[in-house]
A = this chain, B = another copy of it.
């Protein structure tokens, strides 16, 4: 299990990420500020923070955004949050290529949050 410096603190019965050979499985990340361990204010800022948290953990294992091989994005309002997720993914992945992504609107996330992204990374591509 990975617990890199600067990552959010896990407060429950889960870990941030686990390696399996050349694969890195990161837990679903939400927009929690690692400084305060509180949710970031503002939809866009919070969604950006979720990606940042995921990529920070990946980076600690030597993986960058281009090593993402699978994303699942959970939102609580497809029309409201999908465009923001798209915008932030453009900031991160630029002209691409983009990782495969599945996006779903669900009933509820932990802490009644609005957005969660789960990423899988490949460490053997370098």
Contacts and interface: CB of A to CB of B under 8 A. Distances in A.
Nearest to A82: B110
Given A89-B13, A124-B20, A25 B100 contact: yes
A108 B78 CA distance: 7
Interface residues of A, number: 53
Contacts of A99: 1, 14-15, 18
Count of identical protomers in the assembly: 3
Nearest to A16: B100
Given A105-B109, A109-B105, A69 B19 contact: yes
Interface of A: 1, 10, 12-23, 25-28, 68-72, 74, 76, 78, 82, 85-86, 89-90, 93, 96-110, 116, 118, 120, 122, 124-125
